[in-house]
Amino acid sequence: MTQSLAGLRPVLLTVDDDPSISRAVARDLRRRYGEHHRIVRAESGEQALEALRELTLRGDQVAVLLADYRMPGMTGIEFLEQAMDLFPAARRVLLTAYADTGAAIDAINVVDLDHYLLKPWDPPEEKLYPVVDALLDAWRTADHAPVTETRVVGHRWSARSHEVRDFLARNQIAYRWCLAEEPEGKRLLDAAGTDGLRLPVVVAPGGETLIEPSDAELAERVGLSTVPSADFYDVVVIGGGPAGLGAAVYAASEGLRTVLVERTATGGQAGQSSRIENYLGFPDGVSGSQLTDRARRQATRFGAEVLTTRHAIGLEASGSARSVRFADGSQLHAHAVILATGVTYRQLRAPGVEDLTSRGVFYGSALTEAASCAGEDVYIVGGANSAGQAAVHFARQARSVTLLVRGPSLEASMSHYLIQQLAALPNVAVRPCTEVVAAHGTEHLDKLELRHIPSGATDTIDASWLFVFIGASPHTDWLDGVVARDDTGFVLSGPDLMVDGKRPPGWALDRDPYHLETSLPGVFVAGDARADSMKRVASAVGDGAMAVALVHRYLEKP
């Protein structure tokens, strides 16, 4: 029987290559925290990583990591960066000398550092314990992953197996992937009493088995919130990308009763980005998942509710209230609504692509598949920043990465810094003036047929991995006839609604629409779904903040 979570003592791990300092840190930690925590000591980064791997296998929890900055072979920053993959919820502390405070500050951006301590830390009662106390409090209240992993059993090239894994990964739920034909997979299927004909099978942390679960069933079993605590709010935010998260943070921090509803996972397209390098305040870049996690935690800390697997299908005015209807028949009501539904990657319209989607052809960076591309040849369709960021990410493990670009170069669509990064990577190539005209394969992608656009010449190449980034379409079909949209489906707002100085048809208020207000008063739009928006993370967050300011104005005087 699996040991209960309550019976496990969380680990505090410290690593320092100086044995005397290593012993001193462990001694001080053990003196204060030894009764309720396990203190693990290591004297090199590799030794500490090996200890973390063993803790992972045993299902232990790690609450705090303390690493010395200057260690031979592996610096403290490098150790913490790798440790994040094993225990992403653990709080991270860097031990530095006074001369290394610059490096510690840099680490705040590289590894999302929680704190840095100057050596010596005597007396610990003043300099060490208050820091660790605060970090443990934060760790206990955070939504860190449960110790006993969720396990997913499925087939390698099953579309639904990929969707389940992607759902868990994007919601930052730890899971272990087991192939149905391998011994561990067979053991789990036998234990679940299923013949394996219906896959995937998900074994939840408590041991409950789910066969071909829906996203809503998954969310409920792994502890994600799906049911609102009330029927009426000050503001409902629809969509959990940067715009929606920004709106939720600002609305909740200003005292508005706020609920954010998301169909799949918070973060949107930005949440799937391997590295965002042009976002203010992160000179070394930040992964989309890290930025999303911090924003979600920030929103909930201020009191916002965050609900997943909520698919909005209708919006209407109910007197002074605004009502949102969901696919399950439920409704939420609020004084105001912020539409932050974002966009999705456009489908690649070429023969064979649709049949091979999630079986070698993926839209976006497909977080769950990146590790499987090690030593493989990867092809990426697209020439904008999202494609460039994915190419940099895959180049770390793939044998080769080839960007397939319709235009003559990357200059017209990609940021200069990304073009420079790609040019410096020896295993990245760009094929300009090229399009995919067909995909071939039975169980999974085997070959791609490419065409050189100017000449019309085609060639067929061996390919098992294709990732598509070819522009975006807004998630606004459900708003047809409710709010005004442009010809491509993006939501019109503010001055864009005015034609020859006249207010939009049906507008009953004795004022012009506010800047981000749609043609339905009290409903605002933010982020990529807004017509003529900048399509950048920073501008989306700014839209979310501005929308909240306008909600306040609307609530004061509709």
Q: What is the pLDDT of residues 334-367, one digit of tens each?
A: 999 999 999 988 899 999 999 999 999 999 876 6
**CATH number, residue 488:** 3.50.50.60
Residue with tokens 């000398």: 97
Residue with tokens 């009501």: 333
Q: How far apart are CA 538 and CA 212, in angstroms?
A: 38
Q: How far apart are CA 200 and CA 160, in angstroms?
A: 7
What is the 8-class DSSP label of residue 100?
G
**CATH number, residue 213:** 3.40.30.10
CA distances to 30, 145, 202, 224, 331 from 211, in Å = 45, 22, 6, 19, 28
Q: How far apart are CA 350 and CA 353, in angstroms?
A: 6
Q: Which helix (H) or strand (E) holds 389?
A: helix 385-395
Inform me whether the pLDDT recorded for 147 exceeds 70: no
Q: How far apart are CA 223 and CA 208, in angstroms?
A: 13
- Give 7's pLDDT tier (boundaries 50, 70, 90): very low
- Looking at per-residue confidence, does 189 or 60 come out higher? 189
What is the 8-class DSSP label of residue 158?
-
Q: Are residues 22 and 130 in the same domain?
A: yes
Listed ranges 112-121, 220-229, 255-264; the one with the highest mean pLDDT? 255-264
> What is the helix, strand, coil percentage profile of the chain, to 5?
35, 25, 40
Last residue of a domain, one of 221, 251, 266: 221
Q: Coil, helix or strand for 225?
A: coil
Q: Report yes or no: 466 and 379 within 8 Å, Cβ to Cβ.
A: yes
Q: Which helix (H) or strand (E) holds 542?
A: helix 537-556
Residue-number span of the structural domain to which 70 is assigned:
5-141
| Helices and strands (H, E) in the chain, number of each type | 15, 26
In a domain? residue 288: yes
Q: Are residues 14 and 121 in the same domain?
A: yes
Q: How far apart are CA 505 and CA 498, in angstroms?
A: 10
Q: DSSP characters for 412-480?
A: TTS-HHHHHHHHT-TTEEEE-SEEEEEEEESSSEEEEEEEETTT--EEEEE-SEEEE---EEES-GGGT
Contacts 24+ apart (CB under 8 A), 225-232: 225/305, 225/306, 225/307, 225/308, 226/307, 226/308, 226/309, 226/310, 227/307, 228/259, 228/305, 228/307, 228/332, 229/305, 230/257, 230/259, 231/331, 231/332, 231/333, 232/321, 232/332, 232/333, 232/334
Q: Which residues contact 519 (CB under 8 A, 6 or more apart)?
A: 483, 484, 492, 497, 504, 505, 506, 507, 513
Q: Are residues 100 and 9 in the same domain?
A: yes
Q: Which residues contact 411 (CB under 8 A, 6 or more apart)?
A: 419
- Give 99's pLDDT tier (boundaries 50, 70, 90): low
Return the C-alpha torsion angle 362, 366, 372, 378, nearest 10: 50
Q: Report yes or no: 471 and 478 within 8 Å, Cβ to Cβ.
A: no
H helical segments located in 236-364: 242-253, 268-271, 288-301
Last residue of a domain, one of 199, 221, 243: 221
Last residue of a domain, one of 200, 221, 242: 221
Q: Are residues 463 and 479 in the same domain?
A: no
CA distances to 256, 304, 531, 533, 544 from 551, in Å = 10, 16, 19, 19, 11
Q: How far apart are CA 256 and CA 61, in angstroms?
A: 35
Q: Are residues 428 and 489 in the same domain?
A: no
pLDDT digits (tens, 9 = 90+) for 265-319: 998 888 777 778 888 888 877 788 888 989 999 999 999 999 999 999 999 999 9
- What six digits make up the tokens of 412? 């017209």
Q: Report yes or no: 344 and 249 within 8 Å, Cβ to Cβ.
A: no
Q: Report yes or no: 172 and 224 within 8 Å, Cβ to Cβ.
A: no
Q: Are residues 325 and 361 in the same domain?
A: no
H helical segments located in 42-91: 45-58, 76-86
Q: Are residues 133 and 189 in the same domain?
A: no
Q: How far apart are CA 236 and CA 215, in angstroms?
A: 22
Q: Per-residue b/e over 93-107, b at no fewer than 16 CB within 10 Å?
A: bbbbeeebeebbebb
Provide the residue count of the chain: 558
In a domain? residue 532: yes
Inform me whether the pLDDT recorded for 196 exceeds 80: no
Q: Are residues 136 and 9 in the same domain?
A: yes
Q: Are residues 17 and 131 in the same domain?
A: yes
- Give 38's pLDDT tier (boundaries 50, 70, 90): very high
426 prior amide bond cis, ω within 30: no
Q: Are residues 131 and 164 in the same domain?
A: no
- Give 101's pLDDT tier (boundaries 50, 70, 90): low
In a domain? residue 227: no
Number of domains in the chain: 4
In a domain? residue 477: yes
Q: Are residues 336 and 482 in the same domain?
A: yes
In this prediction the pTM is 0.72
Inform me whether the pLDDT recorded for 5 exceeds 50: no
In a domain? residue 31: yes
In a domain? residue 108: yes
Instruction: Check residue 183 and give left, alpha or beta (phi > 0: left; psi -120 to 50: alpha).
Output: alpha
- Looking at per-residue confidence, does 269 or 423 come out higher? 423
Q: How far apart are CA 98 and CA 369, in angstroms?
A: 42
In a domain? residue 187: yes
Q: How far apart are CA 323 and CA 477, in angstroms?
A: 17
Q: Are residues 15 and 36 in the same domain?
A: yes
In a domain? residue 349: no
Give the model's pLDDT for residue 188. 83
